[in-house]
Each structure stands twice: as C-alpha cells, then as structure tokens.
Structure 1
Amino acid sequence: MAAEPAAHAASGSGSGIPAVADALKKNPVYVDPRASSQLTSSDAEALAKKIKDSGKPVFVAVLPAAPEFPPKTLLQDLRAEVGITGVYAVHLGNGFNAGADPQVMPHTAVLNLTGALKRSYGSDTAGLLNAFADQADQQAAGHAPDSWGSSGGGGGSGAAIAAGVVVVAGAGGGYALYRRSRKRKAEREQAALDRLRTVIDEDITAFGEELDRLDFNPSATTSDDAMRRDYEHALDCYDRAKAAMAAARRPDDVQQVTEALEDGRFSLATLEARRSGAPLPERRLPCFFDPRHGPSVRDVEWAPAGGAVRSVPACAADAARLADGEEPMTRTVQTASGPQPYWDAGPAYAPWAGGYFGGFGGGLLPGLLVGTMLGSAMSAPYAYADTGPGFDGGWDNGGDGWGDAGGPQGGDYSGADFNPADFSGGFGDVGDSGGFGDFGGGGDSGGGFGGGDW
C-alpha cells in the first residue's frame, strides 16, 4: 500500500501558489516549510487524516506572509489552480480566511464559522484549523477528490490506450458515475436519518411521558366534550408521530413527526386551560430554545454567540430565566464536536426544526436562526425545496445533497469555473511580526469572508 503523501511540503518542490495547489491535489493539508512553526508535522498529518476520514472536499494551507502569496487574490488563485470544487481554508502569516463553492457550503455558513473561530482561537493555529475542519467536515456537501487516493502519473502510450478506452466505455462510465452518485446520496441520507432518529426518539418519549403524567379521566363528570376532543387529539398525534418515525426513510420524513408532536403539545396546552378555567392559549410557535417545552407564551430578545439580537418565541420558564440574566434551557444534540445547541449542529437538523417551526405562520425559522449554522444552511437559495411553508423537499445543492441537481459536486474537477466572489475578502495585517490580523467587522470586499479580514 502506498504511503500517504506528506502534509508538509519538501524544500525545492516548486514555489508559490502552483506548488501549493499541486500539493493540495494530492493531500488535504499543505504546510509551507517557512510556516512550520504555525503547525507541526504531526499536527498537520493528524489534520490531514481527519479530513480524509471524513471523505469531504476540505483543503487547508498554512503559508508564510510572502510576496508569492498576495493576500488580495490568494484564495481565488488557489481555487483556480487546484480546480476542485470544495472548501478552502488558508492560514497566511498570522491571519486566517476561508472560502467555498456554494454547492459545497453556503457563503454565510463559511462567513459565520470563520468569524467565530477567529474570535475563539486567536493565535492557536492548530486549534483553529482543527475546529474549522470539524465543522466543515460536518457541513460540507460532496466527496473527497479521487486524486487524494491515487498516485497519478501515466505516460504517452498509456494515454493513447486510455483514450481508446474512454471512447469505448463512455456510456458505461456515465452510468457508473450515476450509480455511484445515487449510492452516495443514499448513504448520506441514511447517516443523517440515523442522527435524527436519536433526537426524534427523545422527543416522542418526552411527549409520551407528558401524556402519562396528565391525570385526565375522559369519563369523569368534570370532563366535557371539548376536553375529550383535546385529549383524543393529543393521543392521535402521539400515535401519528410514532408511525411517521417508523415509516421514515429519508431525513425529510422526520418533519411529519415533529409536526405531529407540535400539534399534540398545543392540544395538551388547550386541555390544561379548559381544566383550570384559564383563557384558551393563542396558537403560537413552540419554545425556540427547546420545542419540548411546549407552546411559547411570548417573544423575548436573544442573540446566539457572536450573533445579532433577535426576537424569538419562549416558554414562560425560559422567558423568566432570560429576564433574570440566566441562560435558557437549550436543546442540545450530539455532534462530532460534542453536545451543541441544535441551531449549531449542522443542516441535518433542518427537517426536525422545520416540523416544529414551519408548520404554520409562514415558516419563520430561517429568520429566527440568522447568524447560526442551521440558519445559514436554510437561508441558502438552493438549500430547500418547497413542499411545505419554508421547509421540506430536500437538499438540492449541485447534485451532492439530498436533491439531484446537475453541475460539479464537491470533490469534482471544475477547473476555473467558479465565482471569484466566493473566494475573496478584505485584508489586515498578515505579517509574521504582527498580531492575529486586522479582522475588520465583516468587510464587504468582493463578498468577503468571516470577520472580513485576514
């Protein structure tokens, strides 16, 4: 078995962007010898292995602040030289920036992630790059380029033979690629559904426990027809949620489950009001922080970490916590980076959230989630189709999500056919003697990236 290409470059193997691009075609991580103090050989190899194991088209370069790496055009030029659709991250001198083809990762997701990591990791290059890879591996669509696992090469007579094979096997090769694409799509859907199943099972169990604690007797003299209807509807919703989850075959199918649970919890809230003599509740969105808390009672001001303040629906308990200066009881889910709030756990949770927040009122969740990873994915124009108000359908991002649109997928060779605005940005101090760059506030230089500057 051939040895894995070294993540660090060897001296004398070329210079400038072409040399970096040539190395990245063979391995996901490149460290220029002059920048070896930023990322050790062992750290670079571990990072490269992590990316390869994820099977995603994520490219990382660690470079010195040198004339052959002009900051203003570095990302665009590197993307053009490599020619592979993917996510590109560059640590240049003491600065950091990233870009991505939109069919692989939404522009806003790259911007939010890059900015957050700059603020969190400062001059910890290894920590920053590993955190970026963890999130990009989780969010990026596409597959690792074939060149990472091949030795390349091939001479004159071999090329002539290969040309003949292409002519004879063209149609068969196209069908093979189609089958491979369909297989990968099915595998991705199954992996996403498996992640969602754990969360959904927790939700169904929690609703069942609410029903068990209810202490409602439909035949009691204090029960009227309206109460019985509410109770029966809640039971029906519980059964509908269980049946929908048992029948789920694709990630999008779980939206029916959370729609049923949301509907059932509103019936329980209505039943409780009838039994206590309180005014019937207004039909509102569930609690934003954890839909298991039931219908919200009012909107509160809240901001995600590093994001802008917005108005979100909250249950009475979470509204009180925020009013007292405490953190709300947020729903977290397991990710490769450990427990995370559902809005920072990646686009796989969009159908789950869509059932809770998209079932009525026009599908408000993308607006509530602006500035978060899930919000970035859902706000992308290609992210979701339209079989529900704002949700459902499937990922349709250039043929490598859950949909089947054409065009190059992440990891496919696309040459210089890309939008340079997706690989540009402002610049600050990237000199080796400076601080961690002059990271301006979301600069807008040609569609700049996370935090704006290097």
Structure 2
Amino acid sequence: MFFLLFVLLAASLPAGAAGAHAVKAPDPQVVSALRSERFYASPDQTSLDAAGIARVKQALKESESPVYLMVTGDMGTAASSDQYLSDVANAVGSTGVYGLLSGRHFVAGSLGQTGLNRGEAGRLASEAAGENRGEPADGLVAFVESVNVASGQKPSTASSALTYGFLGVLLLLVVGGFFYVRAGRRRRARDEQRQMQELKQGVEEDVTRLGEDIAALDLDLKSPKVDQAAKDDYVRALDSYDRAKAATESARTSEDMERVTQALEDGRYSMVAVRARQAGEPVPERRAPCFFNPQHGPSVKDVMWAPVGGRPRDVPACAADAERVENGYDPEARMVEVSGQRRPYWEAGPQWAPYAGGYYAGYGGFGMLNSILLGTAIGSMWGGGLGMGYGTVGHSDGFGGGGDFGGGGDFGGFGDFGGGGFGGGDF
C-alpha cells in the first residue's frame, strides 16, 4: 500500500518519431533472463549497484504479482525506451507488468490480464519515481510493492512471518503501513494543492497581461472616427478577457485551464485585428500562438528550434522570438513558478498540459503539440491526443501532478502495450 506522488500523462509518439537513436531488437539473453528471474541488468547500466540489484531481485521474488524489470544504459529517448520495452514484453510473452529503467528514465506497462486497469502500470511507476527521486533501487522496490496492492494482491509478508515466527512482526508491518499510507496521502494532497496553486497563478498572470494589453489599445467605442470592424474586434477581445477571467475563478482542476487559455488565444488574435484595422492594414491570417510565450500573441512564422538535449523541430514563433532564434539567441520563454523556481512552461510538468492545449486547440490541439513538445517535461507525459487524457491536479482520482521516473504504456491485448501512450521521467 504505497500511494506515492502521482503523475500520468501518457506520452504517445507517432511512428518514426523515435529520433536519432535506433531501437535494438530484444536480445535472446534478455528474454531468457526475464523468463527465469523476471529481472535483467545490462553490463553497461550504472543506475543500480550490487546491493540495489539484490534488493530489487528479492522484491521480485517475493512479489505475488508477475513483475518483470530491466535495467539498461541510457537509450537516449523516451521513444526508444518505450519501443524496446514493448518489444521485449511481447518477446517474453508472459502476462505481467513490465518496467524498464534506461539510464535515469523509467517506463512501465502491463501485458495480459494483470488485475490493473489500462495505463495503471504507468501511473504506479510515476508515483514510485516521484517519491524516490535519486534512489532508483528504492523506486523499483516501491513500484513492485504498489503493483501488488493495485492488482489485488497482498504484500508478500507471509514468508517473513514464517521465518521469524512472530505474529507481532505482521502486526507491526500493518500498523507501520497504515501510518505510512496516511502520511503519503497527506504529502500527495499537499503536492496537488501546491501544483494547482502554481498553475492558477501562472494562468492569472496571462489573464492580467491580456487585460492590460487590451486597455493599452485605448480605443474609443463611441468615436465615429473608429472603424466599426475595429470596434467589433475590440469588443470580442473584451469578451474573451471576461470569459478567461471567469473560467480562471471557477477552475478547480488543471483540465479547467484549457477553457481559460482558449479564451486568451481568441482575445490575443482580436487585439491583433484591432491594431491592423487602426493602422489601415489587412488583418493578418490567424496563426497558432507563439510557442515560446503565448502572451506574445499569434505567431508570424515557424522556426527550427530544439529544447535542451532534444532534436530540432518547427515551432511557431512571434516576430521577436523568431529573430532571436534565427540569430542564435534564446527565445523569450514564458517562465512559470515550479517549487519555488522559475522555468519555461514546457519544462514545468504535466499539470501544464491543459494550459498549452487550450492555446493550440484551434490549430490541431495535441496532435500539433506532440511534435513540438517531444522530449520536454510536458510532452514526455501526455498521450497522443486529447482523448488519452492529461494531468489533472486537484482531483483525488485524476492523473498528473509530480512524479519523475514513471510513465504509461500500451502493449495491446488486455493490458497496456500496443496502442501507444508511453510516458516517463528521470531520477
């Protein structure tokens, strides 16, 4: 019963999006080791020492649910880890929960009827990682134990009870587990509350900025000299601001923020239309917001850009950010608060996925963003479309929040592998 820090936004990658790192076919030695011990550690892995390997093996031996774990060197991309794990699981062919720790990145999924719901293996991996950041062995053991609880199996304490012969040991475990779970729930509730506060604060900054920019237009609706079309666009901008403000005040979960940023995007374009009409110029075509900072309004062109450690991709940018990137400078990123630090919103965690999704809802939504956000903190944790669901902060039964080495998976059949939707994170 280990309910630790939770995150799931499963990240599905289109075919061929694995990047420059090719996925190797399963080695027969790996398949053989998993079938015999349900564990494999490659010679080039550095995540676990000998003691850590022994602990993980013992946890797997005592597990009443079939759990298969692999520990390898860094495969380079989340897509590579996802595909390799899927291939190995299908090669082993046994019903169970499969996990792969590649370098510091951990993904998981289930194959067959394991007692887990679809995508639940990834959620458990995310929780275990978030609670055991920097301690891979602790995280893997916690993951095995949480799979047993979630699949309806009791933690394997019988062998310990028989070894020591004391019913008191079992009692201590039960009592200790009760307090541990209660403490874990409190920590998770505090994390959810903090994440929602940070998200709402960031969205409120966007709403306030839109209101200030609209006021700066200083358009007199009563003046007969003002073009009627400009007045109409100005009113639309004000209406969008009002919708965004009301939606922010009523928001209770991260998903609610999608409605806010949809209204903000509409208001930003209406402002651009007002400025164009006031200057006697044609109203620009409606394009997706500037990816680097949606507060900058609609983009004017696409530029090639790569996140830290990621591959280049086309990104919509405003004129100022496009010029910066093309001249080798960093764009003016939208910085948000995350655990007391400011960082770009695309590296702030999966709870910011609806924030981004709302801005791009009219431009392909998550289908467009998947290609842009591949390899970022948001992109590595959400699914391949809105239907997959994304992080929900503020709902006790939702996904999202924190977590750092887990993800979901989809192998087909009755479990997860096969339909895409891997996520992941880093120790």
TM exceeding 0.5: yes
Residue 340 (structure 1) shift: 2.1
SS of equivalent residue, structure 2 residue 399? coil
CA RMSD of aligned residues (A): 5.4
CA separation in 1, counterparts of 2:72 and 2:220?
65
Structure 1 SS opposite 2:302: strand
- What pairs up with 1:3-402 in 2 under 5 angstroms? 62-64=48-50, 77=57, 80-81=60-61, 83=63, 96-102=103-109, 103=120, 105=122, 158=167, 190-336=193-339, 338-363=341-366, 364-379=368-383, 385=387, 401=399
Partner-residue secondary structure (3-state), 2:382 = helix
Q: What letter corresponds to residue 330 of structure 1 in structure 2? A: A
Pick closer, same or farther for the CA change 1:100–1:265 going to 2, 3 Å.
same
| Percent identity over paired residues | 36
Measured against aligned partners, the alpha-carbon deviations of 1:42-73 in whole angstroms (never above 9, x if no partner) come to: xxxxxxxxxxxxxxxxxx97414x9x96xxxx
Q: Which residue of 2 aligns with 1:31?
A: none
Q: Does structure 2 retain, via aligned residues, the 8 Å contact 1:106–1:377?
A: no
CA contact (8 A) 2:346 2:373 kept: yes
Relative distance call for 1:82 and 1:371 in structure 2 (3 A) is farther
Q: Is the 8 A contact 1:258 1:355 kept in 2?
A: yes
CA offset at residue 217 of structure 1?
A: 1.1
Shift of 1:327: 0.8
Shift of residue 192, structure 1, vs aligned partner: 3.3
Name the counterpart of 2:38. Answer: none
TM-superposed CA distance for 1:360, in Å, is: 3.6
Check 1:132–1:230 CA distance in 2 against 1; reply closer, same or farther (3 A cut). farther
Q: Distance in 2 between matches of 1:299 and 1:107?
A: 38
Q: CA deviation at 1:377?
A: 1.0
Amino acid at match of 1:194: Q
Give the match's secondary structure for 2:315.
strand
Deviations 1:67-96 (A, max 9, x none): x96xxxx9985773474999x99799xx94
Q: Aligned partner of 2:328: which letter? A: G
Contact 1:192 1:251 in 2 (8 A): no
Q: How many Å separate the matches in 1 of 2:340 and 2:122?
A: 18
Partner Cα distance (1:258, 1:291) in 2: 9
Q: Does the aligned pair in 1 maintain the 2:306–2:312 contact within 8 Å?
A: yes
Structure 1: segments with no counterpart, 5+ residues: 1-59, 114-128, 166-178, 404-408, 411-416, 422-446
Cα distance in 2, alignment partners of residues 315 and 183 from structure 1: 43
Shift in CA distance, 297/244, structure 1 to aligned 2, threshold 3 Å: same
Q: State the 1:101 CA deviation.
A: 2.6
Per the TM alignment, residue 313 of structure 1 is displaced from its structure 2 partner at its CA by: 0.2
Check the 8 A contact 1:89/1:99 in 2, yes or no: no
Whether contact under 8 Å (1:345, 1:374) holds in the other structure is yes
Partner secondary structure for residue 376 of structure 1:
coil
Unaligned segments of structure 2, at least 5 residues: 1-45, 74-101, 110-119, 175-181, 408-413
* Partner SS, residue 193 of structure 1: helix
Give the whole-Å Cα distance in 1 for the aligned partners of 2:326 and 2:217.
29
Displacement, 1:195?
Answer: 2.1
Q: How far, CA to CA, are the matches of 1:108 and 1:182 in structure 2? A: 17
Q: Which residue of 2 aligns with 1:428?
A: none
Q: Distance in 2 between matches of 1:345 and 1:393?
A: 12
Q: Contact between 1:347 and 1:374, CA under 8 Å: does it hold in 2?
A: yes
Q: Indicate how the Cα distance of structure 1 residues 62 and 242 shifts in structure 2: closer, same or farther if over 3 A, else same.
A: same
For the residues of structure 1 that align with 2:146 and 2:360, how far apart are their CA atoms? 31
SS of the residue 1:279 aligns to: coil
Are the counterparts in 2 of residues 254 and 352 from structure 1 also a CA contact under 8 Å? yes
The alignment partner of 2:202 has SS state of helix
Q: 1:355 to 1:223 in 2, by over 3 A?
A: same
Q: Residues of 2 paired with 1:314 and 1:268: CA distance? A: 17
Please give the TM-score of this superposition, normalised by the length of structure 1: 0.52
* Aligned amino acid, residue 240 of structure 1: R
CA contact (8 A) 1:85 1:104 kept: no
Q: CA deviation at 1:312?
A: 0.6
Gap change, CA 1:283 and 1:228, over 3 Å in 2: same
